Structure 1
Amino acid sequence: MTVFTRRFVVATALCAALGLSLTACQAEKSEPQGWDSSEVTSWAIDEPVTEADVLASVEAATTLKELPNKVRKADLVAASGDDQKAWALPNCTPTIDQTKLDDLGPCTIGDLESERKIFVVGDSAAAMWYGAFDLLGKRTGWKVVMLTKNNCGPASLTYYQWQRGRTFTECTEWQKWRTGVMQTEQPEIVVLTGWYGGNLGPGKEETPQVWREGLVKTVKLLPETSKVVMLGNTPHPATPPAECVASNPNDLPTCASDPAQAVPDQTGWSGAAKDVDATFIDVTPWFCADSCPAIIGDQIVYAGKNHITQKYGRYVSGSIEAKMAPLLGKQA
């Protein structure tokens, strides 16, 4: 089955679950889950949602039964698959073969005129935060560079390329290149984030201690003046939550994840932060309370099961901003 055919079948099934014809489902207008790179700098600077409001929304979402009216049916279809349009910054997704970027322009967001720089470093689970950091940069006067490559995490480790069934040598070269870029650019803040768990290859155990040591190694390669933030992992649902919601719009608790199963071990992040005097941000409370809901605050949280939508990233951008306030030169 081709990728196109599989997407068509999935879309047909979801539209049927929603009581729509495929034509009607495709035709329903919705705010795109991603944006064109040409539009990045023209988005409105939203007033940030406070962390207190996010936490209240998470708590409320754990008991929500029915799909809110503001959640568009077509967006559920779009978010059911792991489509990069839902989370990746357009024109800033290096191919497997790329080991460097000749131009950081497409990967630069936030306040483009600022001399103060934040670098966000990691894999696709770092790239998915671009919506949050774009708004954070615009609101606080920081230029943000998304230095990300899919499956090439922030920890200085040897990764595995699952698609090609071999060591991800291009990632190793990318890591060397990104270190050189940061030594040249001297960012004031470096945010390390990404996917923890299972990217080292067959038979190689990725323990919290291994992750911790890899993160510490990365920090030791950074400019001495850079302040470091460890942004912990988001939950890892077992199945795509949006697909579940499409099939169960009147029984949302069915689509929530158990935190004991979905929340990854964060001790590698927190331990590394302690070792290098970095700031650790545990994002779990922005996603989970008694459960980890699929819909929070009228927002579709996940794109597929491996990423969050950029829309939800924007929703919690104020929470990141509050945690980073001491480094950004403002009070929380």
Structure 2
Amino acid sequence: MTSATAPVDPRRFAAGTAGGDEAPAREPHFRPDIQGLRAVAVGLVVADHVLGWPAGGFIGVDVFFVISGFLITSLLVRERSRTGRISFRAFYARRARRLLPAALLTLAATTAAAWFLFLSGRFQETVHDVVWAALFSANIKFARDGTDYFEAASAPSLVQHFWSLAVEEQFYLVWPALILLAFAAATVGRRARPGGGFRRFPAAALCVLLGAVTAASFAWSLHATAASPVTAYFSTFTRAWELGVGALVAVVATQLQRLPSLPAAVLAWSGLAFVLAAAFTIDEGTAFPGGAAALPVLGAALLLAWGGAPGGPGAQFALGSTPAGFLGAISYSLYLWHWPVLIIAGTLLTPDSVIVHAGVIATSLVLATVSFYCVEQPVLHTNWLLPSHRSVDAARARPVFVRARNVGLAAAAAALLGVGAVAVGPWSDSGNARAAAADAVAAANRTAAAQGMPSLTPLQQDIQAATLATEWPEDLEPGLDELPGYLSEQWGQGCLHVTEDNVGKCLYGDPDAEQSAVVLGDSFAAAWLPGLRQELVGKGWSVQSLTYGVCPNITAPTLYGGQTFTDCIEHRDWAIEHIVSRPPTLVVLSHSWRANLRPGADVGATYRGGLEEVVRTVQASGAKVVILGAPPGADSLLTCPTSLNGPDDCLRGPADTFASQMASEQEVAAATGVRAIDPEQWFCSGGRCPTIVGRTPVYADGLHLTAEYSERIGPDVVAAILQP
């Protein structure tokens, strides 16, 4: 799964309503194969989120959209055919009865967990997200965050999976009215042609109107996915066609059922194959939804049309099996619970271990089961929001409440045992952690001096002390609660993405200074600027920023949102031309390996070869060129700190790609005659990289330096850059 510090791909938070229709199992229209299809969809999404496999498991949400469109449209059409009208009040009351209780419980529990575990800043962010989720607007909020570069490495929201619930509810604000409109058109057509037969006109009118809406949404999805992938992913308008496909299947279901059993079964099995194939062939690099979503949507449509055919996948050994039926029944609650459980587990425990994976899945299943039996089912067997003439049969409701009581008591007993185990567990008192760490470093320094080894610099002493700290300092600057939104404020002034329009604004120091430096690269290069600016401008230099986010110093094209990042290509050409036409004294090149390359590209070779070409081109200006490696990274202060841990719980080594990148840059330096600087000495001690050094957070997000730490190490960095 995507780590807490990596750019967040929105598709990994695709959690549809997982059965958010109103048809309980006792209805005569209940189909076990659809319940089994829900189980497949929820299993794919949970496996993708928890295990990271299959990579395209997020397509399960598309399957849920198709199921929802099918079931809701079937209910509305039957109501209109049976009563001659559609009750909007009854429709939205059914939606509220079905969705709200479990959703509100999850939101309340998530808020309580965030209050207990997280520090103030992240807790406030969680509350903000919960409000958006409760108002069925989460997709709008997360689309905005996803297109905001400054939010790319922020902590994943505990309720980010609510976006798809918002899409459905926004869709259903207009869907009943469209169906009424189609019936009205059919009535007019029947009156105009009395011999045409009543039945044909409603079906035809529904197909024409719903088909037009579906086609328009699909066309927009193709366009929007190419133009703005993140926004398209969350948009109701780009997803409406998926629900529309399910709706069209519902309208023509009677005609589809006339197909003979053998071809119907073959088509149904093909549909299941399409869904599974999509999960294993689509991945995070696929432009989505767009045309790629057609494969799982088509597969779900085929299953809805013929999944119950004799010999089809709805058989008792497949989608119609008891385990599949149970998983499908609890799928809505499983969707609601699995994501916050996963994020909280990743915060408290070592991620990506078999034990954590198993624990997350087991805990999610338990919570979903309790939610289903103790919340979902009891509410559906009460009179809440029901009209007086449709009161619930008390005799049928009684077993539901008995089961809810038994499940609730068992869950409460298990919870008490867990709380008791934690309460009696060993807890240590770390005492004055900062003083103890400083004493340990001083002792190590004295030992090194006695052995004739060079003493640690003050910065290295502070770094080593930070690796021993066990308590979060209260006097951090900036404070932990200031880090959410820190990068937005730091770079929001406009000098992250430097172009011809703002290049003058991003020049620091005297423009006529005798010595000048240019910083070229991505956001990691921009994060060095506070320290470089402080030291070089103080020495009489001018410093020009030519950075651009997610745009490394390589000649190969990169991808952004699954598409070729043409803005980066144009920026790089312009920036190099700017350097060549106005030769500076010094050019500092810095970038990370985080930009996406074309599928199948050799990352090491591409970055090495591309950087060498850029270095040679810049060398033509006559400027001194220095390659300054990107920082090694650390655990994110946006996600790691909790009320239950300390800095020692957030220690880790350099990023996995750090050693390879440094070796690659040394090769480029040797080939071109420039100097490459490995920055690890300013961040790590003994292979461990702390998140704070002294009173200063090192990174704003585990990746990009805080301005304060950049300034703190500025003298060391500039001394290394200016070294002859």
Matched, 1:133 2:540: no
Aligned to 2:489: 85
Contact 2:118–2:641 (CA under 8 A) maintained in structure 1: no
1:146 has 2:545 as partner: yes
Once the two structures are TM-superposed, the CA of residue 112 in structure 1 deviates from its matched residue by 4.7
Partners in 1 of 2:464 and 2:552 — Cα distance?
31
Matched, 1:270 2:656: no
Larger Rg: 2
Q: What residue identity is the alignment partner of 1:196?
A: W
Alignment counterpart, residue 289 of structure 1, candidates 651, 674, 685: 685
Find the aligned partners of 1:108 and 1:61 in 2 and give their Cα distance.
35
Alpha-carbon distance between aligned partners in 2 of 1:298 and 1:19, rounded to the nearest angstrom = 18
Higher RCO (CA < 8 A, seq sep 6+): 1
Distance 1:110 1:67 in 2: 37
1:119 aligns with 2:523: no
CA shift in 2, pair 1:14/1:221, >3 Å = farther
1:301 lines up with 2:698 in the alignment: yes
Say which is worse superposed, 306-315 or 118-127, in terms of deviation.
Answer: 306-315
Which residue identity is paired with 1:215?
L
- What's the counterpart of residue 472 of structure 2? 67
- CA-to-aligned-CA distance 1:20-60 (integer Å, 9 cap, x gap): 9959xxxxxxxxxxxxxxxxxxxxxxxxxxx9222221111
**Alignment check: 8 A CA contact 2:520 2:588 kept:** yes
2:500 is aligned with 1:101: yes
How far apart, in 1, do the equivalents of 2:120 and 2:502 lie? 46
Cα distance in 2 for partners of 1:310, 1:14 equals 29
Q: 1:1-332 residue pairs with structure 2 within 5 A?
A: 13=114, 17-18=118-119, 52-71=457-476, 75-80=479-484, 83-86=487-490, 88=491, 90-94=493-497, 100-162=499-561, 165-207=562-604, 209-222=605-618, 223-237=620-634, 239-248=635-644, 251-259=646-654, 261=656, 263-265=658-660, 266-290=662-686, 291-326=688-723
SS of residue matched to 2:517? strand
1:33 maps to none
Displacement of 1:82 in angstroms is: 7.1
Q: Structure 1 vs Structure 2: percent identity of aligned residues? A: 27
Whether the aligned pair in 1 keeps the contact of 2:593 and 2:657 (CA below 8 Å) is: no
Tell me if structure 1 keeps the 8 A contact 2:633–2:654: no
Query: Distance between the aligned counterparts of 2:625 and 2:116, measured in 1?
Result: 44
- Residue of structure 1 equivalent to 2:428: none
Q: Deviations over 1:79-129 (max 9, x none)?
A: 25673324x37221338xxxx423422211245551321000001111111
SS at match of 1:120: strand
RMSD: 3.2
Question: Is the 1:16–1:22 contact (alpha carbons within 8 Å) kept by the matching residues of 2?
Answer: no
Distance 1:247 1:263, change over 3 A: farther
Shift of 1:202: 3.5
8 Å CA contact 1:14, 1:77 repeated in 2: no
CA distance in 1, matches of 2:582, 2:120: 53
* Aligned position for 2:333: none
Q: Match of 1:90, as an amino acid?
A: Q
CA contact (8 A) 1:234 1:284 kept: yes
Instruction: Tell me which protein shows more helix as a share of its residues.
Output: 2
Does the 8 A contact of 1:135 with 1:314 survive in 2?
yes
CA distance in 2: counterparts of 1:14 and 1:134, whole angstroms: 39
Query: What is the deviation of 1:285?
Result: 1.3
Q: C-alpha distance in 1, partners of 2:474/2:616? A: 49
Shift of 1:138: 2.0
SS in 2 for 1:259: coil
Q: Which runs of 5+ in 1 are unaligned?
A: 2-8, 24-50, 328-332
Instruction: Please give the TM-score of this superposition, normalised by the length of structure 2.
Output: 0.36
Q: Is the 8 A contact 2:627 2:676 kept in 1?
A: yes
Query: In the aligned structure 2, how far is the partner of 1:190 from the partner of 1:247?
Result: 44
Give the Å deviation of 1:296. Answer: 0.8
Which has the larger strand fraction?
A: 1
Contact kept in structure 2, 1:188 and 1:226, CA below 8 Å: yes
Distance 1:107 1:89 in 2: 12
Cα distance in 2 for partners of 1:263, 1:228 equals 21
Decide whether aligned partners of structure 1 residues 143 and 213 sit closer, same or farther in structure 2, where only a CA change above 3 A counts.
same
Using structure 1 for the length normalisation, give the TM-score. 0.75
Cα gap change, 1:255/1:110 in structure 2, threshold over 3 Å: closer, same or farther? farther
